């Protein structure tokens, strides 16, 4: 029996439906001299039958079934390493794929130069909408060989084990295996591999396809999508402590600030965006687990974060959990705090009181947001819906409150408008904001969704209204934050313009900042039969040809 060039391990647990797709991507590799190990973590569905059938179809496939379920990814990978016959190893999850040239590209990099592992680009594909993006594109945009992780500590952000091809000798030399009995095993394994490797090569080629299901049912969601569980927080912090111990014990303590920054910017940030949706008990448990660990992180890691993220972290560390939840709404967007305070030094602080501790003053100082001096189109306001009532048909009545902590708006009523663009045509609904007290304005607006101007083919999708303000000929558009839990309402709309009938739903966004969300869906037999035809006819080239012909006839 000849020795294959590369062993690719597919780990699987109760995934009979998607396993054939993953294995098919391996059988289609342009470099065919590979061994495929299906490592089954003791599935209880039809996976064993599917795996045996696949193995019968191709002599390169071997089926390994663990005697009992391990509950994680490490054990099935480690058992496969034990029986792998090739000098190079790769790993694939059963719900993902390798693009056709993945093995060829990574193996070629190994053969060009002796390195401990090679790695490439990961393409993320959203299962719900098909949207594609590259994972950490700035780290894999050019071909390069690094003499150790210290040459670019940013790579700690790219902690996936599946985007890499490892030299078996490297793993054996350092007895490097996946840690069993813990979650987020990739983070520890990858940190160890980065630190132990004398050299590794990055290629800009697409070598892994990662399918993302952000709205998967809780029972089937991946570990990283189970952030609603307190145990998930505990597991993530636990593995961070193990990484810290490894860095210290292996002489890589100099990487701590970079690693701490990665934790704050990536791991903690994922939880921070969810804070507005968590109840008080969850927040208390989260703080109890997270805060002791936050105290161990380097000050320099905090200093590298955007100010709004530093504010959320400090409020959490101070035990101001309700405020942390409030500050977390709109992270990543120019959303202002409701109130700010000032002291005699000219500094501006988040909230209605000046912080008492030196650390809190440093972290809650929002002077760098330039709330009072930033150009008006880039200014920070906060627009919140404080009341929402359903009107007749497809209309809703909104009570809106705007916070202007930088006092950018002049005294008196303000002209405002809601902007909404289903399809290519924008809908503008003007209304007035009246002053309540300095920096706070309120208004009411009726949004009649049946007045939207849809194209003939209709619109199938989601939109989030924004609130526009104008001042001295300049315009500012900002997010419109909705109540987090109001009941969704759907109305059938028959458009007088000739557009197809639609079901229009008004609902909370349910994630991220929690904007007001409006969903359109064409309905009826007419939509199913006519819409595909209209979509073809309504293409820009066809429309332009029709306009040209009309002009000639005139």
Do residues 161 and 190 lie in contact, with contact meaning Cβ atoms separated by under 8 Å?
yes
Quick one: pLDDT at residue 539? 54
What the block records as the tokens of 511 is: 């994630």
Domain with residue 532: its CATH number is: 2.60.40
Q: Is residue 225 part of a domain?
A: no
Quick one: pLDDT at residue 552? 44
Residues 266, 298, single domain; the answer is yes
Residues 214, 363, single domain; the answer is no
Decide which of 172, 189, 218 is a domain's last residue.
218
Token look-up 């989030």 returns: 464
Residues 67, 180, single domain; the answer is yes
Sequence-distant (6+) residues with CB within 8 A of 11 are: 39, 41, 73, 76, 77, 80, 91, 92, 93, 94
3-state secondary structure of 472: coil
Q: What angle separates helix 47-57 from helix 19-27, to the nearest 10 degrees?
A: 20
> Which of 547, 541, 486 lies closest to 514, judged by CA?
486
First to last CA, the chain: 79
3-state secondary structure of 371: coil
In angstroms, rounded to a whole number, what is the distance separating the alpha carbons of residues 6 and 30?
13
What the block records as the tokens of 466 is: 């924004």
Q: Is residue 501 part of a domain?
A: yes
Do residues 12 and 64 lie in contact, with contact meaning Cβ atoms separated by under 8 Å?
no
- The number of folded domains in the chain is 3
DSSP codes joined into one string, 276-294: GGS-HHHHHHHHHHHHHHH
Give the helix ranges, DSSP H, for 433-507. none
Token look-up 């448990």 returns: 285
Q: How far is C-alpha 512 from the chain's CA centre? A: 9
Q: Are strands 132-135 and 144-146 parallel, antiparallel or unpaired?
A: unpaired
Task: Give φ, ψ of 161 to 5 degrees.
Answer: -85, -20
B/e letters for 352-387, b = 16+ CB within 10 Å, e = fewer, are eebbeeeebbebbbbeebebeeeeeeebbbbbbbee
DSSP codes joined into one string, 155-209: GGG---STTEEEEHHHHHHTT--PPTT-S-HHHHHHHHHHHH-S-EEEEEEEEEE
Residues 364, 392, single domain; the answer is no
In angstroms, rounded to a whole number, what is the distance separating the alpha carbons of residues 476 and 329?
19
Decide which of 218, 248, 280 is a domain's last residue.
218
pLDDT digits (tens, 9 = 90+) for 177-199: 999 999 899 999 999 999 999 99
Q: Is residue 554 part of a domain?
A: no
In angstroms, rounded to a whole number, what is the distance separating the alpha carbons of residues 328 and 534?
43
Q: Is residue 550 part of a domain?
A: no
Residues 268, 329, single domain; the answer is yes
pLDDT digits (tens, 9 = 90+) for 336-381: 999 999 988 889 999 999 999 999 999 999 999 999 999 999 999 9
In angstroms, rounded to a whole number, what is the distance separating the alpha carbons of residues 74 and 46?
22
pLDDT digits (tens, 9 = 90+) for 11-30: 999 999 999 999 999 999 99
In angstroms, rounded to a whole number, what is the distance separating the alpha carbons of residues 113 and 110?
6
Residues 236, 129, single domain; the answer is no
In angstroms, rounded to a whole number, what is the distance separating the alpha carbons of residues 491 and 508?
16
Q: Is residue 130 part of a domain?
A: yes
3-state secondary structure of 84: coil
Q: Is residue 461 part of a domain?
A: yes
Residues 395, 295, single domain; the answer is no
Q: Is residue 441 part of a domain?
A: yes
Q: Is the pTM of this model over 0.75?
A: yes
Residues 240, 210, single domain; the answer is no
> Which of 186, 146, 179 lies closest to 163, judged by CA?
186
What the block records as the tokens of 5 is: 């060039």
> Which of 479, 484, 420 lies closest to 450, judged by CA?
420
Give the helix ranges, DSSP H, for 221-374. 230-249, 256-262, 269-272, 280-294, 299-303, 307-317, 321-328, 358-363
> Which of 156, 183, 179, 178 lies closest to 166, judged by CA?
178
Q: Is residue 172 part of a domain?
A: yes
Residues 146, 111, single domain; the answer is yes
In angstroms, rounded to a whole number, what is the distance separating the alpha carbons of residues 61 and 52?
9
Quick one: pLDDT at residue 517? 95
What the block records as the tokens of 125 is: 């594909």
pLDDT digits (tens, 9 = 90+) for 317-332: 999 999 999 999 999 9
Give the helix ranges, DSSP H, for 332-411. 358-363
How big is the CA angle at 379 (ends 376 and 382), to the nearest 5 degrees? 130
In angstroms, rounded to a whole number, what is the distance separating the alpha carbons of residues 236 and 242?
10
Decide which of 160, 191, 218 is a domain's last residue.
218
**In the chain, which stretches have pLDDT less than 70?**
1, 215-225, 496-498, 525-554
Residues 190, 285, single domain; the answer is no
Domain with residue 113: its CATH number is: 3.90.550.10
Do residues 29 and 20 lie in contact, with contact meaning Cβ atoms separated by under 8 Å?
no
Quick one: pLDDT at residue 494? 87
Quick one: pLDDT at residue 65? 97
| CA-derived radius of gyration, the chain | 27
Residues 382, 529, single domain; the answer is yes
What the block records as the tokens of 545 is: 């040809």
Quick one: pLDDT at residue 500? 83
Residue 433 has a CB neighbour count (10 Å cut-off) of: 24
Residues 180, 300, single domain; the answer is no
Token look-up 């959203």 returns: 126
What range defines the domain where residue 490 resides?
Answer: 377-540
């Amino acid at each position: 029996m000849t020795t294959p060039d590369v062993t690719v391990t597919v780990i699987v647990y109760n995934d009979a439906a998607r396993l054939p797709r993953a294995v098919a991507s391996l059988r289609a590799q342009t470099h065919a001299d590979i061994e495929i190990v299906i490592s089954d973590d003791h599935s209880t569905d039809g996976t064993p039958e599917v795996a045996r059938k696949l193995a019968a179809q191709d002599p390169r496939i071997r089926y390994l079934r663990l005697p009992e379920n391990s509950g994680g990814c490490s054990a099935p990978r480690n058992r496969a390493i034990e029986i792998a016959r090739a000098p190079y190893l790769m790993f694939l999850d059963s719900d993902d794929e390798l693009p056709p040239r993945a093995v060829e590209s990574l193996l070629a990099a190994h053969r060009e130069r002796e390195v401990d592992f090679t790695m490439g680009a990961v393409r993320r594909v959203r299962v719900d909408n098909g949207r594609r993006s590259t994972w950490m594109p700035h780290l894999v945009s050019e071909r390069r060989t690094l003499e150790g992780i210290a040459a670019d500590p940013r790579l700690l952000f790219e902690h996936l084990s599946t985007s890499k091809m490892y030299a078996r000798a490297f793993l054996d030399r350092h007895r490097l295996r996946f840690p069993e009995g813990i979650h987020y095993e990739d983070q520890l394994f990858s940190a160890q591999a980065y630190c132990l490797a004398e050299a590794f090569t990055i290629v800009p080629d697409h070598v892994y396809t990662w399918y993302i299901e952000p709205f998967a049912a809780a029972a089937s969601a991946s570990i990283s999508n189970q952030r609603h569980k307190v145990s998930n927080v505990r597991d993530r912090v636990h593995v961070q402590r193990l990484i810290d111990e490894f860095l210290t014990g292996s002489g890589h303590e100099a990487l701590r600030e970079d690693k701490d920054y990665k934790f704050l910017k990536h791991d903690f940030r994922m939880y921070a965006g969810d804070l507005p949706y968590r109840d008080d008990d969850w927040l208390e448990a989260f703080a109890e687990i997270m805060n002791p660990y936050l105290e161990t992180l380097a000050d320099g890691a905090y200093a590298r974060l955007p100010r709004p993220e530093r504010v959320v972290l400090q409020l959490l560390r101070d035990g101001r959990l309700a405020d942390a939840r409030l500050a977390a709404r709109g992270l990543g967007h120019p959303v202002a705090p409701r109130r700010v305070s000032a002291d005699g030094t000219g500094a501006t602080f988040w909230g209605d009181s000046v912080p008492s501790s030196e650390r809190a003053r440093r972290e809650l100082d929002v002077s760098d947001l330039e709330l009072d001096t930033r150009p008006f189109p880039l200014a920070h306001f906060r627009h919140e819906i404080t009341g929402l009532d359903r009107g007749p048909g497809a209309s809703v009545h909104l009570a809106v409150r705007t916070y202007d902590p930088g006092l950018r708006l002049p005294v008196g009523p303000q002209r405002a408008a809601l902007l909404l663009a289903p399809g290519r045509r924008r809908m503008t609904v003007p209304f007035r904001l009246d002053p309540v007290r300095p920096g706070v304005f309120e208004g009411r607006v009726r949004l009649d969704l049946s007045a939207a101007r849809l194209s003939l083919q209709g619109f199938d999708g989601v939109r989030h209204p924004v609130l526009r303000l104008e001042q001295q000929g300049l315009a500012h558009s900002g997010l419109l934050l909705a109540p987090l839990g109001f009941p969704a309402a759907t109305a059938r709309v028959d458009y007088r313009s000739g557009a197809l009938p639609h079901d229009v739903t008004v609902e909370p966004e349910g994630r991220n900042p929690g904007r007001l969300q409006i969903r359109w869906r064409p309905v009826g037999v007419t939509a199913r039969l006519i819409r595909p035809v209209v979509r073809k006819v309504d293409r820009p080239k066809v429309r332009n040809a029709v306009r040209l012909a009309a002009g000639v006839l005139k």
